[in-house]
Amino acid sequence: MRTKVCLAITKGVWGGAQEYVYTLATSLPKETYDVFVVCGEGNTLQSKLAEKNIKAYTIKTLKRDIFFLNEIKSFFALRYVLTKERPDILHLNSSKMGFMGGLVGRLLGIKKIIFTAHGWASNEKRFSFLSRKIFWLIHWWTIILCHKTIAVSEKTKKDALCMPFAGHKIVVIHNGVGNIDFLDRAVARQKLQEITRLAEHTEIIIGTISELHRNKDLDLLIDSCRNLPHNTSVYIIGEGEEREHLEELIDGFDLGHKVFLAGRIPDARKYLKAFDIFTLTSKTEALPYSILEAGLAGLPVVATKVGGISEVIEDRKNGILIHRDIGGLEKILHKLIENEDLRTSLGKALHETISKEFSVEQMLRKTEEIYFK
């Protein structure tokens, strides 16, 4: 008999945590596991799972923002699904689903409850002091309720070690990325031109794939592009709440001819080889898929030294780590634009790192060990 696994996450949009759920759902061996997914608002994850014939339940009241009545409805909806399906393993993702799922799972007596921490909301300075303390308590209770917690980086684990009785429950399993059907450079650029508008003078493309969110600090990238060479364009693929602000910033700096918000593009990672340089200017991260995918595409990556990024990128050896300052980023971008050999060597080194140390195979093997330990 196959082991039934429920992968559950708060939102059904597309981001790093959703990619993690999708990767597990589609990669766990079908002869061993019967997998289904539970998620809330958004439909991208559900659509992608449907293409792979993986069952997905949507809890419409489960949203990112907290509304007491919705939380009650979501609790009972999740309880109904888990009572109906009776999974052997409940694998939870994201803060709200982690706590709610841990509680429901314990009440139903599910044999194994796993939580994957993709970062801790209690560390995000965008929240008030009181909100961060509440999140801290929620995270702590989630770890206590679950049998084991997977941290996607050593830094994520370290941040949780201050929680009482939590340390022995946490194990690090780095995210893994599998083969990607990249478009070659010429085709990717042509398709980008069809989707948006590629400036005719463009020779060098600095790019990123990112949610337009304050945590991603795209202001830093845009501000650092004011003095880039004439032959350089910047493409930001993604969508989010910061679009209007970023459009105003681009207009204010008169960068409409150089910096382009490409919006959400389905399976955007296929277009990575259109870029010459990949950037990630986040204020906070756990271990982002975007730099793993950029590395697999052979791109040189410039990223802020936050979260678990330094567990992937070794500064000046397989990428470049920066502090969050405009002058430093601008200087590095100029250096990479002018030095093709440096771009090539950094890209090759990162590709080798990702292929050897951050494969889907290692992630699956270590996750399965947790399932049956």
CATH of the domain at 191: 3.40.50.2000
Indicate whether 341 and 368 sit together in one domain: no
CA pair distance 332, 151, nearest whole angstrom: 31
Same domain, 335 and 365: no
> In terms of C-beta density within 10 A (0-12 exposed, 13-18 middle, 19 or more buried), how is residue 200 classed?
exposed
Looking at the fold, whether 322 and 368 belong to one and the same domain comes out as no
Q: To which residue do tokens 């994520």 refer?
A: 156
CA-nearest of 64, 65, 24 to 48 is: 24
Whether 191 and 163 share a structural domain:
no
User: Do 117 and 207 reside in the same domain of the chain?
Assistant: no
Instruction: Determine the structural domain holding residue 336 and report its residue range.
Output: 185-357
The encoded tokens of residue 330 equal 């601008």
- pLDDT of amino acid 127: 66
Backbone angles phi, psi at 57, to 5 degrees: -100, 135
d(CA 310, CA 291): 11
What's the pLDDT at 199?
Answer: 62
Which of 17, 114, 10 is CA-nearest to residue 367? 114
Residues 145 and 102 in one domain: yes
- According to DSSP, the residues that pair with 55 across neighbouring strands are 36
Residue 196's pLDDT is 76
Q: Mark whether 20 and 147 lie in a shared domain.
A: yes
- Output the tens digit of pLDDT for each of the chain's 373 residues: 899 999 999 999 988 999 999 999 999 999 999 999 999 998 899 999 999 999 999 999 998 888 889 999 999 999 999 999 999 999 999 999 999 999 999 999 999 999 999 988 766 666 677 777 888 888 999 999 999 999 999 999 998 877 877 878 999 999 999 999 999 999 999 888 887 776 666 789 999 999 999 999 999 999 999 999 988 999 999 998 999 999 999 999 999 989 999 999 989 999 999 999 999 999 989 999 999 999 999 999 999 999 999 999 999 999 999 988 888 999 999 999 999 999 999 999 999 999 999 999 999 999 999 999 8
Q: What's the CA gap between 84 and 312, in Å, rounded?
A: 41
State the pairing for strand pair 320-322/3-9. Answer: unpaired
Domain count, the chain: 2
Are 332 and 304 part of one and the same domain?
yes
Spatial distance between the Cα atoms of 333 and 348, rounded to a whole number of angstroms: 18
Statement to judge: residues 119 and 206 lie in one domain: no
Residue 218 contacts residue 281 (beta carbons within 8 Å) = yes
Convert the chain into a string of H (helix), E (strand) and C (coil).
Answer: CCEEEEEEECCCCCCHHHHHHHHHHHHCCCCCEEEEEEECCCCHHHHHHHHCCCEEEECCCCCCCCCHHHHHHHHHHHHHHHHHHCCCEEEEECHHHHHHHHHHHHHHCCCEEEEEECCCHHHCCCCCHHHHHHHHHHHHHHHHHCCEEEECCHHHHHHHCCCCCCHHHEEECCCCECCCCCCCHHHHHHHHHHHCCCCCCCCEEEEEECCCCHHHCHHHHHHCCCCCCCCEEEEEEECCCCHHHHHHHHHHCCCCCCEEEEECCCCHHHHHHHCCEEEECCCCCCCCHHHHHHHHCCCCEEEECCCCHHHCCCECCCEEEECCCHHHHHHHHHHHHHCHHHHHHHHHHHHHHHHHHCEHHHHHHHHHHHHHC
Residue 348 sits in the same domain as residue 205: yes
Q: Give the pLDDT of residue 324.
A: 85
Q: Which tokens belong to 305?
A: 């030294």
Give yes or no: residues 122 and 230 share one domain.
no
The amino acid present at 85, given as its one-letter code, is: E
Asked whether residue 111 falls in the same domain as residue 78, the answer is yes
